[in-house]
Amino acid sequence: MSSPVRWLRALSCAALPLAVVAAIVVLFLPLSRSLDLDVFLRAGRATLHGLPVYPRLGSRAVYSGGSFVYPYFAAWPFVALARLSSGTSTALFFVLCVCAVLAACVSGGRHDPWPAALVLCSAFMITGLQLGALSPLLFAGAVFLWRLRERPFGLALLAAPVVASKLFLAPLLLWLLLARRYRALAYASAATLALLALSFALGPIGPIKYLQLLSALGAHESRAGFGLIGALMNAGLAPAVAEASALTLTLALLIGACVHCRRTDDERVAFCAGIVASLLLTPVLWSHYLVLLPATLIALRAPRRWLITLALASWAIAPPHGVHLDTDLVAGVTSSGAWLAVGASLIVFAYSAVRPARVLSEEPKVPG
């Protein structure tokens, strides 16, 4: 194929996702402030000038939505952005997130513009881009972790910032255990712990106080989110019972994934189970966290109609900020996101049971 033809083909594939990006910029970004990015930029400025980064434990600022509650290292990349004007830093972060999402969607080598376009069309992704949240980068990170499964060292280097920045993603690493990639699991776990240890050593608070901060945040915000634990608490269960129920469901999910992986040597379900387990176990689950679900469909190489269904469902569950849809799901049934995660886990097993495993890599699988 000649060079001009390749360029034309690349441009045609990029046209649809870029059109969706343009629509997001024009129609949705003006509807909401980039609240999460503002938190990161304030943390970057505080780090730059030696000011307090974390809210005082026990104060209402912990769960105000405007305080930095991430491991200290997550503020480091925003030190440079904090030196720029607000508009410039917001634009640069948006471009970074969009490029990461596009790269993740095309990283499998398939010249198909629809996965990227449909992922960008989901309300979960649009909300993450509106808020300047880490969720779009976590989606890209999850997809690239799957792509790097045959490279333990590269996987570990990526897993460290992805998992450590959002600790609720720690169950994702269980995928490596279920798939018997023990060396990759050891490297990824060590890299993640090393990054966290460095962060606590250089940061203003240690691991105990940080866990207390997360505990206070989870106790206050779990009922308002989309998580299973919060939904069970809203249904009248005690927090301990709600957590035990979520853990029981997650264990059943992981055991099923383990059995499937052992019988078929197909680790796609193990990867998907790791993501769904992360969503089921986190006490605080906002709608844009659910953008991790399309990563499971990309790993499964699911048909386009699955991505279409998920994109449409996302709008019924939680439209982007500033968009008001008069539907029953939007009217306060916050458990819908949790049940979407549960449904996704069942879909994963149903899909793998009726559809033959595909060849995911031409390289032979090497344990570890």
* Neighbouring residues of 4: CB distance < 8 A, sequence distance ≥ 6: none
Domain boundaries, the chain: 3-354
Question: 251-255 — which CB contacts under 8 Å span 24+ positions?
Answer: 253/277, 253/280, 253/345, 254/174, 254/178
* Neighbouring residues of 192: CB distance < 8 A, sequence distance ≥ 6: 159, 160, 163, 164, 170, 173
Is 51 in a helix, a strand, or coil? coil
Written as one letter, the residue type at 334 is: T
Given this model, what pLDDT does residue 316 score?
A: 86
Alpha helices in the chain (DSSP H): 3-23, 35-49, 77-82, 86-106, 114-121, 123-131, 135-147, 152-165, 174-178, 182-202, 207-221, 228-234, 239-264, 268-281, 293-300, 304-317, 336-354
User: pLDDT tens digits, the chain, 368 residues: what are they?
Assistant: 555 555 556 556 778 999 999 999 999 999 999 999 999 999 999 999 989 999 888 777 777 677 899 999 999 999 999 999 999 999 999 999 999 999 999 886 667 889 999 999 999 999 999 999 999 999 999 999 999 999 999 999 999 999 999 999 999 999 999 999 999 999 999 999 999 999 999 999 999 999 988 888 887 887 888 888 888 888 888 989 999 999 998 999 899 889 888 888 889 989 999 999 999 999 888 999 999 999 999 988 888 999 999 999 899 888 998 887 655 444 444 444 445 555 555 555 555 544 544 444 434 444 55
Question: For residues 355 and 311, what is the distance between their CA atoms, to the nearest angstrom?
Answer: 22
Given this model, what pLDDT does residue 241 score?
A: 93
DSSP string, 62-120: GGSSSS--S-GGGGTHHHHHHTS-HHHHHHHHHHHHHHHHHHHHHTTS---SHHHHHHH
- Whose structure tokens read 């790791």? 274
Given this model, what pLDDT does residue 12 score?
A: 62
Tokens (6 digits) for 72: 């200290």
146: nearest Cα among 176, 109, 182, 111 = 176
Given this model, what pLDDT does residue 227 score?
A: 84
